[in-house]
Amino acid sequence: MSLGIAIIGSGNIGTDLMVKVKRLSEKLEVAALVGIDPASDGLARAKRLGIATTADGVKGLVDLPEFKDVRLVFDATSAAAHRHNYDLLREHGLPMVDLTPAAVGPYVVPPVNLDAHLDAPNVNMVTCGGQATTPIVAAVSAVAPVAYAEIVASIASRSAGPGTRANIDEFTETTSRALEVVGGAERGKAVIILNPAEPPMKMRDTVFCLLEHAAESEVDESAISVSVAAMVAKVQQYVPGYRLKQEVQFDPVEHPFVPGLGRPFRGTKVSVFLEVTGAGHYLPDYAGNLDIMTSAALRTAERLLERKEEAR
């Protein structure tokens, strides 16, 4: 039996998520798509698919007859809007999967901590950069302590909608924190680049991890490479277009002052280069940044509802 879900946000992310649930999920069924723009393509597509819609936001969702069938709500709006939406829906006791950088609830990155917060009323999917890079930092930190992790997420300007552009500050703050809380780095930093190149480029992510030690022999490069490869394979289970661009790189570093750490550093820099190609369900394949978010959210929601059904 499929369980009903509602999606708040009829833009690129919400619409792609709707299409993914329809095509890929045997456990979930879209009961409603919620927007605020009656002319949005997402609401038009939902109507053609026979899905209930409203352009009156969360209030309109609660008033829909289909609301009684909803068991979980995705929020694909903005950080500010999510806080408002959560306040309105909290009294209904529905778990929420937050695809904005609001970070009201705990961070969830499926291959790292999917089962850690299954009872939380609100879980946060970090950011597209966080979903792509936090698993790599976690893979490195599983082998050796990471003193500092820095990531650079470069995405096509065309794939950055108004929500992404309005949340740049939240993106950097939320992703940086996830590198620490979920990835295991002592300190984290995130940078996002909107690339205006034509034709649009695919999502590229660069991950730098600093491993502090006195002797070069203290770094097990083989073990780190194996750990990273295993993590990439885990992500590929739900994001097939996620891949390493080249082998993991190792370079000795000795610097009198590293700004990210705020102190001198001696050790090894681990560099990992990634590319994310979207599945093309609703958006072009260069929009891997959006694809990895919706794919991670779908996997998380299926597990959350599976756990709730087990508890019944």
- Pair 13, 84 in one domain: yes
289 is in an annotated binding site: yes
Mean pLDDT, all residues of the chain = 95
165 is in an annotated binding site: yes
- Identify whether the C-beta of residue 175 lies closer than 8 Å to the C-beta of residue 124: no
Q: What is the pLDDT of residues 98-144, one digit of tens each?
A: 999 999 999 999 999 999 999 999 999 999 999 999 999 999 999 99
Length of the chain counted residue by residue: 312
225 is in an annotated binding site: no
- Pair 250, 300 in one domain: no
What average pLDDT does the segment 64-68 reach? 98
- Pair 82, 145 in one domain: no
12 is in an annotated binding site: yes
Number of domains present in the structure of the chain? 2
Per-residue buried b or exposed e for 232-241, using 16+ beta carbons within 10 Å of the residue's own CB: beebeebbeb
Q: How confident is the model at residue 222 (pLDDT cuts 50, 70, 90)?
A: very high
Alpha carbon distance 166, 10 (integer Å): 16
Q: Which residues contact 43 (CB under 8 A, 6 or more apart)?
A: 10, 33, 35, 37, 53, 55
Q: Which residues contact 1 (CB under 8 A, 6 or more apart)?
A: none
For residue 119, the SS3 value is coil
Q: How confident is the model at residue 81 (pLDDT cuts 50, 70, 90)?
A: very high
Task: Identify the pLDDT of residue 215.
Answer: 62
Q: How confident is the model at residue 259 (pLDDT cuts 50, 70, 90)?
A: confident
- Pair 170, 102 in one domain: no
Whether 165 has a pLDDT exceeding 90, the answer reads: no
Active site members: 128
Task: Identify the pLDDT of residue 98.
Answer: 98
- Pair 180, 80 in one domain: no
Task: Identify the pLDDT of residue 217.
Answer: 62
- Pair 142, 42 in one domain: no
- Pair 303, 189 in one domain: no
Helix (H) or strand (E) holding 113: helix 110-113
What percent of the chain has a predicted confidence (pLDDT) above 90? 87
DSSP state of 259: T
160 is in an annotated binding site: yes
Alpha carbon distance 300, 29 (integer Å): 15
- Tokens representing 25 are 């999920």
- Pair 78, 215 in one domain: no
Beta strands in the chain (DSSP E): 3-8, 28-34, 52-54, 70-75, 96-98, 122-124, 148-156, 187-195, 203-212, 242-244, 249-258, 263-276
Most distant pair of Cα atoms in the chain: their distance: 66
What average pLDDT does the segment 244-268 reach? 92
For residue 261, the SS3 value is coil
- Pair 136, 172 in one domain: yes
Task: Identify the pLDDT of residue 213.
Answer: 82
Q: What is the pTM of this model?
A: 0.95
Task: Identify the pLDDT of residue 260.
Answer: 84
Alpha carbon distance 151, 254 (integer Å): 20
* String of DSSP letters for 56-99: SHHHHHHHSGGGGGEEEEEE-S-HHHHHHHHHHHGGGT--EEE-
Whether 167 has a pLDDT exceeding 90, the answer reads: no
- What is the CATH number for 137? 3.30.360.10
Show the CA angle centred on residue 127, arms to residues 121 and 129, nearest 5°.
150
- Pair 165, 95 in one domain: no
Characterize the bridge pairing of strands 263-276 and 203-212: antiparallel
167 is in an annotated binding site: yes
What average pLDDT does the segment 33-41 reach? 97
- Tokens representing 160 are 């950055």
Q: What are phi and psi of 38, to 5 degrees?
A: -60, -20
Q: How confident is the model at residue 1 (pLDDT cuts 50, 70, 90)?
A: low
- What is the CATH number for 41? 3.40.50.720
157 is in an annotated binding site: no
- Pair 109, 137 in one domain: no
Alpha carbon distance 209, 85 (integer Å): 36
Amino acid at 223: A
Domain that holds residue 274: 128-287
Q: No. of H helices and E strands in the chain?
A: 10, 12
Alpha carbon distance 167, 118 (integer Å): 26
- Identify whether the C-beta of residue 295 lies closer than 8 Å to the C-beta of residue 239: yes
Whether 214 has a pLDDT exceeding 70, the answer reads: no
159 is in an annotated binding site: yes
What average pLDDT does the segment 77-95 reach? 94
Alpha carbon distance 300, 308 (integer Å): 13
- Tokens representing 10 are 């009829």
- Pair 178, 260 in one domain: yes
Q: What is the pLDDT of residues 185-200, one digit of tens each?
A: 999 999 999 999 999 9
